[in-house]
Amino acid sequence: MTATAVEKPATTKPAYRVTGSHVLRSESTKLWSLRSTWIALGLGLLFLIAFGTIAALRYHSGITSGRQMDPDFADATGLSLSLFGVPLAQLALGVLGVLVTAGEYSTGSIRSTLASVPRRLPVLWSKATVYGVVALVIALAGTFVTFFIGTGILPDTPAAMTIGTGGVVRSLLGATVYLGLIGVIGVALGALLRSVAGAISALVGALMLVPGLVSLLPKSWRNSIEQYLPSNAGESMYSLHHAPHMLSAGTGFLVFAAWTALALAGAAWRLSRSDA
């Protein structure tokens, strides 16, 4: 008797390809699975709405009470009051951008991420794209909602404005783009420095400490330098009225976009040259 071997049909495993859409979907899933995402985005939205509303209420109270107006609010407009929370919102959105990349380095999960995407750079582009869009949406909702709240608080006051007032929509969109790019810069700094504390320190230093140091320079130097700083270039994107030594909205956007591209280029260089 001869035994006949029964051949089992070969099982074929599905072939998985690393594509741009797959990497984007993976980074989106990771972003929304983090508790810090919901907290930081909530804080960013809260800062925009709460501080803009408080500023509008304080201005309205000063006008109706008959007391002397605080010098900081003397020349305020409905737009400037509604954007009062932008400096704090930028910190919340920028810090979350840092956590998107540097957080993976601190936990070591970046190794599995780069093992799944050996070419590496698509990971950076996907993280920056996903989080940049999320920060953009949060900023868009926060700026416009706050402006409409302020519109309801400030009728019949010198600061009253409507969405149809010249330059308002441009300024609101400028603030939205600025905050979205701040998130992208946070992602880039996290990938470049690979340290949560270091990247947050660099972000805060660039946005808040460097302008303070430049203000100590002689006036002729200060006027030539400070308008090209990231924070000042970003402010020109959403300012309704521009001071003499302030960039126009379009030039400010180009300068701030250049800073963003520089941060991304540095992150891409380190990601492609050094191990995780």
pLDDT of residue 70: 72
On whether residue 231 sits in a domain, the answer given is yes
Per the structure, the complete domain to which residue 249 belongs is given by 24-273
> Is 203 part of any domain?
yes
Is residue 10 situated within a structural domain? no
**What is the model's pLDDT at position 276?**
62
Tell me whether residue 122 is in a domain: yes
Question: What pLDDT does residue 18 have?
Answer: 67
Residue 119 pLDDT: 82
Name the DSSP letter for residue 166. T
Residue 13 belongs to some domain of the structure: no
pLDDT at 13: 47
Domain assignment present for 19: no
pLDDT confidence of residue 234: 92
Q: Which residues contact 117 (CB under 8 A, 6 or more apart)?
A: 18, 23, 123
Provide the residue-wise pLDDT of the chain in tens; the chain has 276 residues.
444 544 545 444 445 566 778 888 888 888 898 888 999 999 999 999 999 999 999 888 888 776 777 776 778 889 999 999 999 999 999 999 999 999 988 888 888 888 888 788 989 999 999 999 999 999 999 999 999 999 999 888 888 899 988 899 999 999 999 999 999 999 999 999 999 999 999 999 999 999 889 888 888 888 889 899 999 999 999 998 888 888 999 999 999 999 999 999 999 999 988 776
What pLDDT is stored for residue 203 in this prediction?
95
The DSSP line for the chain is: --PPPPPPPPPPPPPP---HHHHHHHHHHHHHT-HHHHHHHHHHHHHHHHHHHHHHHHHHHHHHH-SPPPGGGTT--HHHHHTTTHHHHHHHHHHHHHHHHHHHHHHTTHHHHHHHSTT-HHHHHHHHHHHHHHHHHHHHHHHHHHHHHHHHH-TTSTT---TTSTTHHHHHHHHHHHHHHHHHHHHHHHHHH--HHHHHHHHHIIIIIHHHHHTTS-HHHHHHHGGGSHHHHHHHHH-SS--TTS--HHHHHHHHHHHHHHHHHHHHHHHHHS--
Residue 15, domain member (yes or no): no
Q: Distance (Å, rounded) from C-alpha 265 to C-alpha 169?
A: 31
Q: How many domains does the chain have?
A: 1
The pLDDT value given to residue 16: 54
Report yes or no on 267 lying in a domain: yes
